Structure 1
Amino acid sequence: MLRQDGFDYEFDSTKCSECGGRCCTGESGYIWISPNEISALAGYLSLDEGEFRSKFLEKHGYKFSIKEKNYNDGYACIFFNESEKNCSIYEFRPKQCMSFPFWDYFKNHFDELERECVGIRRL
């Protein structure tokens, strides 16, 4: 079980295979990605950064977000593998994805997190 200071719940990452990728799907939202993450992911996909940006990212002000695709009456990250129900770039996923479910938002919205993530348990 994973824990993080300041959070009153823990996370069992072994449950990820059971949920079908709920953290990668659902309502539309921003999937922020930093310049260093863009560079690493573009390299992993053997694309130059310009091609990677135009193919997989949307610019919002001075920041970039990973594009989404339509999926099951909602949305999914463009890198969500629909047949495997998991992340196709897992080793290169952005910090935002790595830090899930320990987001400050969920400190006051545990009920939402509980509906989304089967690996969560209150302490």
Structure 2
Amino acid sequence: MDIELYKKQALQKQNEHRKFLEGLKKKPPKNLDYIVQEVHEEVFETIDCLSCANCCKTTGPLYTEKDIERIAKHLKMKPADFEAKFLRVDEDNDKVLQHLPCFFLNNDNTCSIYDVRPKACREYPHTDRKKIYQINNIMIKNTVICPAAYEFVENMTKRLKK
């Protein structure tokens, strides 16, 4: 998978994608959530996250207190020790990874804590959520990082411009 090509295409189409997503916000189709789910499933039939893992390599998720407790327990650590070893507080006062790529990313692009991974990782790239237009800015950022997010917006555009 050519991440650089996807990134280049996403950057070239940012204005077009932004305009499309803003249109969804202004006048969402009645069956938007259904269409979103359908397009999400179609995209993930062709895109395999394990062939990419760009999100794990370039962006760190936000860690909630529940995430920290769950992962620390899984790793048989105290939450405070987990935080000290892996996390830092960013400029938005969120708890995020100290370093990228993600410490839990294996060489084969699998995740060593997949079953207990953070909520943000489980939901990424947010292409299956209801009222998708509520996260337009996040979706635009995600198209540059994630080929699936890019394909999702492209396919949504094609589907709704019929």
Q: TM-score, normalised by structure 2?
A: 0.54
8 Å Cα contact 1:23-1:117 kept in structure 2: no
Q: Of 94, 102, 117, which residue of structure 2 is paired with 1:77?
A: 102
Question: Which protein has the bigger helix share?
Answer: 2
Question: Which protein has the bigger strand share?
Answer: 1
Give RMSD over aligned pairs.
2.9
- The change in CA–CA distance for 1:117 and 1:53 in structure 2 (over 3 A counts) is same
**Structure 1 CA distance for aligned equivalents of residues 77 and 51 of structure 2:** 32
Count of equivalent residues:
107
The aligned residue for residue 93 of structure 1 is 117
**Structure 2 CA distance for aligned equivalents of residues 59 and 99 of structure 1:** 21
Q: TM-score, normalised by structure 1?
A: 0.68
Q: Does 1:25 align with 2:57?
A: yes
Q: Which one has the largest radius of gyration?
A: 2
The aligned residue for residue 44 of structure 1 is 74
Cα distance, 1:46 vs. partner? 0.4
Q: Of 83, 98, 107, which residue of structure 2 is paired with 1:53?
A: 83
Q: Identity of paired residues, percent? A: 22
- The change in CA–CA distance for 1:111 and 1:96 in structure 2 (over 3 A counts) is closer
Amino acid at match of 1:15: D
Q: Which runs of 5+ in 2 are unaligned?
A: 1-31, 128-134, 157-162
Q: Which runs of 5+ in 1 are unaligned?
A: 70-75
Q: Does 1:66 align with 2:90?
A: no
Cα distance, 1:7 vs. partner? 4.7
